[in-house]
Amino acid sequence: MIKKLSLVALLLFLVGAIGSAVTYGSMNKEVAINDIKQIENENIASIQVNVDNTDIEFISVPNMDEARVELIGTGTEKTIHDFSITEEGQTLSISLRSESKKWFNFNFYTPALKLKIFAPEKMYSNVKVRGFSSDVLVQNLQSKTIDLITDSGDVKLGNITSEKMSVKTFSGDVNMEHVQGGVVMVTESGDLNVLDAPLKSFNARTFSGNIKLENVKGTITTNTVDGDVFISTSEIKHAINGKRDCLDSIGNSQWRYHSYK
């Protein structure tokens, strides 16, 4: 009797699970998305971005008439409801994250979305970006502080001025060109590449990724566990500190550093 009841309970569970999957899938059909939201507050000094599975691009525009946020690509109808921007005081907040995380998710569809932020040209106080599985492209941006974190996406920065910039990825590569100020870069397995950067300071740490610096000025500090460091420069005017720590087959610490002039 107990075995029969258990079998019935299992069948009911499977029927319910299948029904939920069918209902959930019908409510989350793929749709084309082209959602545009205007930026109204000309006094915005801080930009905060928090998104999932969405590539991010900052585009500099000359005036407020062109300031806007665009979400384009393909997703589900629920994606449109999850997308929001708010302007409170001098802070612009942009969000595209699911309100709830479920242990069981029958939606195997992965959206292909890009978030474009058309930001007016000026010096911002801070820019913060949090992306899960997001590529990040930022060009022609000035901000006193910049804080970029992405889980598995690549980061590309060009023509950036910042007193303090922090870039962190888990498995993505980071590429910088024409960047000024102070930079801290951290990645687990991605490569770090910096070109033509007159920096005050540069501090980079990787686990298995390589670090390549070409014509980078300023105090340089690098630390890798299982990656190589390559530096190419026409002159050395500041301190260069490089370290590689890893364990060999007998547990001894190894150190290696490459410098090319």
- pLDDT tens, N- to C-terminus, the chain (261 residues): 555 545 555 565 555 555 544 444 445 678 899 999 999 999 999 999 999 889 999 999 999 999 999 999 998 888 878 899 999 999 999 999 754 444 334 444 455 899 999 999 999 999 999 998 899 999 999 999 999 999 889 999 999 999 999 999 988 899 999 999 999 999 988 999 999 999 999 999 998 889 999 999 889 999 888 888 888 877 777 777 777 665 443 333 333 444 443
Residue 161 belongs to some domain of the structure: yes
* Short-list 49, 43, 91, 89, CA closest to 69: 49
Is residue 85 helix, strand or coil?
strand
- Per-residue confidence (pLDDT) for residue 143, from 0 to 100: 97
Whole-angstrom CA distances from 199 to 126, 127, 163 are: 18, 19, 9
Residue 204 located in a structural domain: yes
Answer whether residue 125 is part of any domain.
no
pTM for this prediction: 0.78
Provide the number of structural domains found in the chain.
Answer: 1
**Cα–Cα separations (whole angstroms), residue 181 to 1, 21, 200:** 74, 51, 5
Residue-range definition of the domain harbouring residue 219:
154-261
Q: Is 244 domain-assigned?
A: yes
CA distance 150 to 167: 8
**What are φ and ψ of residue 33, in 5° steps?**
-125, 130
Report if residue 52 sits inside a domain.
Answer: no
According to the model, what pLDDT value does residue 82 have? 87
**H/E segment holding residue 224:** strand 211-224
pLDDT at 108: 42
Tell me whether residue 62 is in a domain.
no
Asked, for residue 66, whether it belongs to a domain, the answer is: no
Is 238 a member of any domain?
A: yes
